[in-house]
Amino acid sequence: MPATYTPSKPDLDKSRLHDNDNGAGRRPPTDKRTGGGGEGDNWQSRPQGQRGPRERLGRYRMGLFFALAGDLMFFIAIVSVFFVARTTGHFDAYNRYINEWLPTAIPPVLWLNTAVLLLSSVTMELARRRMFHEPDVMEEWFGLGRPISRRSAPWVAATLCLGLLFLAGQALAWKQLAMQRVFFASNPSSHFFYLITYTHAIHLFLGIGGLMLALWGLYASRQLETRQILVDCAAWYWHSMGVFWVFLFLLLAYFQ
Amino acid sequence: MLSTSSYAQGCTQCRDNAAATPIATQHAYRTAILLLVGVAFGIGSSVVLVGRRFR
């Protein structure tokens, strides 16, 4: 019979005094509390700002939505000026009212670009959902590897590629217009076409920066919640840029 | 303070300019104002609703 050692109660108490172990197992090396209603673990009763990962995610989301609200107002301001400029003219020397607005024919490649951007939104949503997929989260919580990063990263990378493809398509559209001698200052209509597509492309560049950061975070960050926040915020930003583009594209295609 | 004359004090020049434009331009101004006000109101309402929901 193998030798076993069964500690007596005083022995147990003595050792527990030093390592704060209540006998239910030690805490893992990283903080993996869930914020549930377990013993002394009800994070909702804690002060604001210390209520766990869900609160942290909500805070980052809120910050992003405020930034996006500012962005939305920026684009709406451009669209408002677009509507006014479309009908505004000037009086010439003969007191005739001249409206110089000539609609700019949008390059057909923009339709393809729109499809690519919508597809990238789908891949980004798949990546975001992967980050919150419960079985994977539990697997990681139990310390069985990093399935979340492994399964989400390809979708983030796919989104990044599609985003770059969209920007390449936009560059192609600008080149096609330039070949038709349609430039920024050619006409009020072309002015708005370039203004809208340039500003959206700049915003998409920022989104690509966010995607690269999320991709880097998926490999570099040890904390699950940090990775979730990075991908979640990048996804919401990306979706917003997709919605903004659809809105702006419809404006350029049908409201000139 | 809210009489018509005092209401127009601040921007009579703007009003005259707008009145001198064609009907289509005046319509465009109204559309633009409605668009700006509508979106701003929507954002404000959303912030209030979300703030109350997650208070």
B36·A76 Cβ contact <8 A: yes
A84·B24 Cβ contact <8 A: no
Structural domain of A216? 53-254
At A208, list the tokens.
Answer: 């690509």
Residue A214 lies in a domain: yes
How many whole angstroms separate alpha carbon A17 and alpha carbon A123? 52
Q: What is the pTM of this model?
A: 0.80
Instruction: State the nearest Cα–Cα gap between A13 and chain B, in angstroms.
Output: 43
Q: Looking at beta carbons, which residues of chain A come within 8 Å of B25?
A: 84, 87-88
Structure confidence at residue A185 (pLDDT) = 85
Q: Looking at beta carbons, which residues of chain A come within 8 Å of B27?
A: 87
Residue A20 lies in a domain: no
Residue A34 lies in a domain: no
Structure confidence at residue A241 (pLDDT) = 95
User: Which residues of B make CB contacts under 8 Å with A?
Assistant: 21-22, 24-25, 27-29, 31-33, 35-36, 39-40, 43, 46-47, 50, 54
Structure confidence at residue A250 (pLDDT) = 94
| Mean pLDDT calculated for residue range B32-42 | 92
What CATH number is associated with residue A83?
Answer: 1.20.120.80
Residue A41 lies in a domain: no
pLDDT tens digits, A166-196: 999 999 999 999 999 888 888 888 999 999 9
Residue A33 lies in a domain: no
Residue A47 lies in a domain: no
Q: Is B22 helix (H, G, I), strand (E, B) or coil?
A: coil
pLDDT > 60? residue B8: no
What is the number of CB-based contacts under 8 A between chain A and chain B? 43
Residue A24 lies in a domain: no
Q: Looking at beta carbons, which residues of chain B come within 8 Å of A97?
A: 22
pLDDT > 90? residue A109: yes
Residue A45 lies in a domain: no
Instruction: State the nearest Cα–Cα gap between A228 and chain B, in angstroms.
Output: 20
Number of folded domains that form chain A: 1
Q: List, as one string, the DSSP characters of chain A.
A: --------HHHHHHHHHHH---SS-PPPSS------SSTT--GGGSPTT-S-HHHHHHHHHHHHHHHHHHHHHHHHHHHHHHHHHHH--EE-TTS-EE----PPPPPTHHHHHHHHHHHHHHHHHHHHHHHT-HHHHHHHHTTS--HHHHHHHHHHHHHHHHHHHHHHHHHHHHHHHHHTT--TTT-HHHHHHHHHHHHHHHHHHHHHHHHHHHHHHHHH---HHHHHHHHHHHHHHHHHHHHHHHHHHHHHHH--
Rounded to the nearest integer, the mean pLDDT of chain A is: 84
B27·A62 Cβ contact <8 A: no
ipTM for the complex? 0.77
A69, A73, A84: residue with CB nearest B29: A84
pLDDT > 80? residue A6: no
